[in-house]
Structure 1
Amino acid sequence: MSPSTSALILVSAVLLLSSATTSAFNVTLILEKYPDYTEFNNLLSKTGVADEINRRNTITILALSNGRFGDISSKKEDVQKRIISTHVVLDYYDVAKLKQYNTSKGPLTTLCQTYGQAKQQQGFLNVVVKDSEVFLSSAVKGASMDSKVESSVASQPYNISILSISSPIIAPGIDGALSPASAKQPNAAAPAGSEGPAVAEGPKQEEAAAGPEGEGTSAADGSSELSPNANSAAVKQAMSGFGLIAAVASLVAGF
């Protein structure tokens, strides 16, 4: 065997090994075997989530059968991608493993969390096991827990697991309508008897608040306002000025 032939065989072997290690599965080909998940498979490909799944070695997909998408199909494609990516868990879970899930481990991390756009736990899922049944929901506070894990569609331990769920998991505000929890809503009056969270003061505010007694503070319109202590000092200073004038006038009158 010539040196060039040996080198070619070696390069081909390396490329095959590299391909095998970087792509442990092809989710599109797997789901093509299950006609009940055609719509879900198409949505994975349309949004590009399928390609992101195939670049990973360990994944769990929470699949929706045809007709269970609700109004997802009517949303913008970037919103569809965020929703579908929350149905992709970054670890291997089959039904048995989820039934033994300990909530003290915290929520499940989804592909959506890797985009850097998730807010208020939108990239995580909560797990609740009740009467040997597994329910999933967004980890966002107030999200409904009405999606049930029904069965295993396909698996390739411990690389990919595809589970069928009863309804889509849509995190509140995943369409971009959710305001940050710390944001102050305009004209929102606090309930009677309740106190809102403390708001950190900026450096300038803290400096003004901690300034020496008698100094003025700057008003919002740029004008200068005097604090009560400053007003008192100004009055005293004015009174002492008037006293000095009166004394000089009395002295002059004596002459």
Structure 2
Amino acid sequence: MTDNAAAASWSKGTAGRRARFIDAAAFEWIKVSTVRSTWWTLFAAAAITISIGAFAGSDADPGAGVDFVLREIFVGLPIGQLAICLFGALAATSEYGTGSIRSTLTAVPKRSRLLAAKALVVFAVSLVTGLLISFATYTAGTLSLGAAVARPELSDGSVLRAVIGGGCYLGVLGVFALIVGLVLRASAGAITACVGLTFILPLMFHALGPLGDLLLKWWPTEAGQQVLHVVPSETRLAPLLGLGWFMVCTLVALALVTSRITRRDA
């Protein structure tokens, strides 16, 4: 179903009454769930992260500690997260690319409500997908571990927090990518920006010495990934604090983008 068709179908169902937030959220869900690229993108995120985790688990060092083993299992997350970025960015830019954003604004004229509903749906889809990916990666990785390798157990609170936190990180990342898409409005530019912000820039920071360490500590996506660490790093934010910082930065950015979009043309 195209975005224009979804808008027309949704408008008929709400004719004669004011659109509520739940209506706007249902509208956004119809658009997301009926586009094939959504499911192919999320499948790619799962396939990449899980397969790399299984391979990394089979090659884990028998002398390594639980924290190192778990990080090895989740070593594919920085690559798999790019697919989540693609999903979040396309949730915004596809409407601008096809011009269907005008139909969307006709169906839901209150832009703050529209963007809140869009962010909620993207977050919900990314979160559920992220949790499934995280637990599946953990399972595949631990099953492939050698007999002599230390096994991260979910009965360990820190390990469980890391696995759940990995899914939550991907949930917030989807909204982060949505925001980039709303700012740039072009799919190619938004995807390129997401790759740069989540992957390339953090790699470049490593070459900047003490300044790079400071930037890595407070860079939102890098701070959010600290939740995957069983043993907190001495030079980075604590796991839950890092994830919280990523969430705060994302919410502030969403508020700024919402304010900007409500004052400009479609």
TM normalised by structure 2 equals 0.23
Please state which structure has a larger fraction of its residues in strand.
Answer: 1
Please state which structure has a larger fraction of its residues in helix.
Answer: 2
TM normalised by structure 1 equals 0.24
